[in-house]
Amino acid sequence: MRSSATPSARRIVVLASGTGSNLQAILDAIAERRLDAEVVAVVSDRSDALALQRAAAAGVPTVHVGVHTDETRSDYDARLADVVAGFGPDVVVLAGWMRLLTMSFLGWFPDRVVNLHPALPGELPGTRAVVRAWQEAMAGERTRTGVMVHLVPDEGVDDGPVLAVEEVTIRPDDTLESLTDRIHQVEHRLLVHTLSSVLTALSAQKGVTA
């Protein structure tokens, strides 16, 4: 996977706690040369995250940063920042990262942390956003949800300057599974597309020809 990167490729560190289908979308886009980037590491707070197995299968270095007992969030985040900074990322992508990050981490990577959230800006922050959207739709309270990709400047939850948004219509006959599938498809496309734009802009700033 890493061999697909060109000399101008920007360095991405992905933080993931779970399945890693969005990580896989990034890895596939790089392998298929739709994204000029290199995933230099995948870091997880969970040793059993499928995302770590996906990374290893693609030849990407993996790191498990487990939470120590009695450790504060801030202390954990400082350790995490140390690990991530060691890989020299241009961009840090939160792709199913299930911990809220404090400034002990975010302060190290200003304007460089990108989050993916399965809801529209200002709606359904936090966990289970797809489940909550579907439940509200079944109760007749909403007909659409969506996906957003945004920067994470501070400790706001699923909040921050929006980089890309796509609406997803909730159909009357949607099951939770069908809605989740459709949202994942949008996420995979939107995340790769947005990263491509972000990395191109970064390269332009640095005076590198992509």
Query: Binding to ligand GRF by residue 18, rule CB under 6 A?
Result: yes
Of the residues 64, 68, 117, 188, which is catalytic?
117
From residue 170, give the alpha-carbon distance in Å to each of 102, 125, 134, 164: 33, 18, 7, 19
Report the residue number, 18 or 107, with the smaller CB distance to ligand GRF. 18
Expressed in angstroms, the distance from the first to the final Cα of the chain is 19
- Find out whether 84 and 39 touch, Cβ atoms under 8 Å: no
Query: Binding to ligand GRF by residue 160, rule CB under 6 A?
Result: no
Q: Is there a catalytic annotation at residue 117?
A: yes
Query: Binding to ligand GRF by residue 168, rule CB under 6 A?
Result: no
The Cα–Cα gap between 115 and 94 comes to 5
Query: Binding to ligand GRF by residue 159, rule CB under 6 A?
Result: no
Q: What residues contact residue 194 under an 8 Å CB cut-off, 6+ apart? A: 114, 149, 163, 164
Query: Binding to ligand GRF by residue 187, rule CB under 6 A?
Result: yes
User: Of these, 14, 36, 96, 160, which contacts ligand GRF (CB under 6 A)?
Assistant: 96
Beta-bridge partners for 113: 92
Query: Binding to ligand GRF by residue 118, rule CB under 6 A?
Result: yes
Residues of this chain that interact with ligand GRF (CB under 6 A) are 16, 18-22, 95-96, 116-118, 187
User: Which residues are catalytically annotated?
Assistant: 117
